[in-house]
């Protein structure tokens, strides 16, 4: 009995547990080792629109940075003061924005995203210097995230957004054209849906997926870690995300006009989540999240952010399942139908067949058709796209774009002749292999 009392006294003295008289919490903390992961972790999660890009003739962003854009990205790297990792959209202009920041960190700290070893250029990379063994799109050897990629098919509504923006400016608006373009995108999700453009909600879900994952990392990093995660993405993807999760000082979520947050994101602009872990009174690990945008601090609707992230995750599952079904259907179709490509390779149709087509075309239009070149081009496309069905190749041949290239309409005779040629080739191949 005396030994048990002595053991209890020893444990109290050592601070192994707290009694009614043991009121010094610091003593208890000192005696309990800190968990290996998750406690007192600080993570800065930054989402940035890529730096200034070049422009295509249509006015869209080209996939490279201007010299000004490169210089700005490099200068920002000088401010990195902690362990840093970079993520990027697959687009080169976003990759290069993040890469230049990581390369120009001169504080001596470890940068997770190491430079590629390139003896020829002494470690310096440009868009043209693709490292051996890397995927062509992964020029800068960093983690590429599809959810950070561009708004799909924005070109389909680009002209109407610009026309609307110019009309607003003509009517006295002081906002920039780009700011108004993004406002139109936010205000007219139905147009994105109709034109098969990534909708604002879809864009918000994609960024939320990345944000949720990286904020959640804080619980799994070594205790006392202080890290920065850089994400390079595009406009207009950040704005619809903030519209869904940002909490204003009045407690309301989101915004109606971009003017409420200072306008659309300019090249190189960003916002940051500051995530910090702490233990609550019951010993449960919690993550406190704040949002910094243009010098202002905002609240974050974490439940909405997580819901958006789940929506995107479910979308990925659906797309994966649908893709599997399509592949299975394609395999079944190949088992049932002799492949046109095999027929073309086996018979190599040229000569008399093409001459007959030329004669047919000339008799209808009174000029040389160049059908041999057209036929060769179409078959090259069929091989490249792995089109193995006559109707599919024919459908590609008669698209308005292809017909317009031939500068004759309606080209019905030429189109029929082309399909007839394909069917003759396939029939000859089937006869040769004894297909019933």
pLDDT tens readout for residues 370-417: 555 555 565 556 555 555 555 555 555 555 555 544 444 444 555 565
Q: Is the pLDDT of residue 259 over 60?
A: yes
Residue ranges per structural domain of the chain: 2-31, 42-152+198-315, 340-433
**Cβ burial, residue 118 (10 Å; 0-12/13-18/19+):** middle
Q: Is the pLDDT of residue 247 over 90?
A: yes
Mean pLDDT of 274-296: 88
For the question of whether the overall pTM of this predicted structure is more than 0.75, the answer is no
* Confidence at 148, pLDDT banded by 50, 70, 90: confident
Angle of CA points 86, 90, 91, to nearest 5°: 105
How confident is the model at residue 204, as a pLDDT? 92
How confident is the model at residue 407, as a pLDDT? 46
pLDDT in tens, 110-138: 222 232 223 333 344 333 333 333 344 44
Question: Alpha-carbon torsion 89, 92, 97, 99, what sign?
Answer: positive
With beta carbons less than 8 A apart as the criterion, state whether 316 and 402 touch.
Answer: no
CA distances from 154 to 135, 182, 199, 203, 220 (A): 26, 11, 10, 12, 37
Q: Per mean pLDDT, which of 120-124, 305-309, 334-338, 400-404 is the most reliable?
A: 305-309
Tell me which fold the domain 42-152+198-315 belongs to. Rossmann fold (3.40.50)
Q: Is the pLDDT of residue 143 over 80?
A: no
Q: What is the C-alpha to C-alpha distance for residues 53 and 282, in angstroms, rounded to an integer?
A: 50
* Continuous segment of H or E residues that includes residue 121: none
Q: What is the C-alpha to C-alpha distance for residues 308 and 300, in angstroms, rounded to an integer?
A: 13
Q: Is the pLDDT of residue 300 over 70?
A: yes
How confident is the model at residue 115, as a pLDDT? 29
Q: Is the model more confident about 22 or about 196? A: 196
Q: What is the DSSP string of 337-362?
A: S--HHHHHHHH---THHHHHHHHHHH
pLDDT in tens, 79-95: 544 444 555 544 444 44
């Amino acid at each position: 009995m005396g030994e048990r009392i002595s053991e209890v006294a020893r444990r109290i003295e050592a601070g192994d547990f707290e009694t009614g008289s043991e009121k010094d919490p610091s003593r208890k903390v000192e005696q309990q080792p800190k968990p290996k992961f998750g406690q007192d972790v600080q993570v800065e999660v930054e989402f940035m629109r890529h730096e200034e890009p070049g422009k295509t003739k249509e006015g869209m962003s080209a996939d490279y940075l201007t010299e000004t854009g490169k210089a700005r990205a490099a200068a920002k790297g000088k401010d990195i003061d902690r362990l840093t990792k970079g993520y990027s959209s697959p687009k080169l202009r976003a990759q290069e924005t993040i890469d230049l920041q990581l390369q120009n960190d001169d504080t001596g700290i470890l940068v997770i995203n190491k430079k590629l070893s390139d003896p020829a250029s002494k470690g310096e990379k440009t868009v043209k210097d693709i490292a051996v063994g890397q995927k062509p799109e992964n020029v800068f050897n960093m983690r590429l995230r599809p959810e950070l990629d561009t708004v799909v098919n924005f070109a389909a509504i680009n002209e109407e957004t610009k026309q609307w923006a110019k009309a607003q400016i003509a009517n006295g608006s002081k906002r920039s054209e780009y700011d108004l373009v993004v406002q139109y995108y936010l205000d007219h999700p139905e147009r994105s849906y109709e034109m098969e453009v990534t909708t604002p909600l879809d864009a918000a879900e994609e960024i939320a997926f990345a944000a949720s994952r990286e904020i959640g990392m804080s619980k799994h990093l070594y205790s006392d870690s202080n890290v920065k995660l850089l994400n390079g993405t595009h406009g207009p993807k950040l704005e619809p995300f903030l519209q869904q999760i940002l909490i204003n000082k009045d407690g309301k979520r989101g915004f109606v006009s971009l003017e409420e947050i200072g306008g659309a994101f300019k090249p190189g602009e960003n916002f940051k989540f500051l995530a910090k872990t702490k233990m609550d009174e019951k010993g449960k690990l919690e993550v406190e999240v704040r949002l910094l945008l243009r010098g202002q601090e905002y609240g974050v609707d974490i439940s909405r952010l997580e819901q958006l992230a789940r929506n995107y995750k479910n979308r990925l599952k659906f797309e994966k399942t649908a893709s599997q079904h399509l592949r299975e259907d394609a395999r079944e179709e190949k088992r049932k139908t002799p492949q046109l490509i095999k027929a073309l390779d086996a018979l190599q149709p040229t000569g008399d067949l093409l001459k007959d087509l030329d004669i047919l075309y000339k008799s209808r239009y009174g000029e040389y058709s160049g059908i041999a070149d057209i036929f060769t081009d179409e078959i090259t496309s069929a091989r490249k796209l792995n089109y193995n069905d006559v109707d599919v190749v024919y459908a590609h041949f008669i698209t308005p774009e292809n017909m317009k290239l031939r500068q004759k309409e309606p080209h019905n005779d030429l189109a029929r002749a082309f399909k007839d040629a394909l069917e003759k080739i396939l029939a000859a191949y089937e006869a040769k292999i004894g297909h019933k």
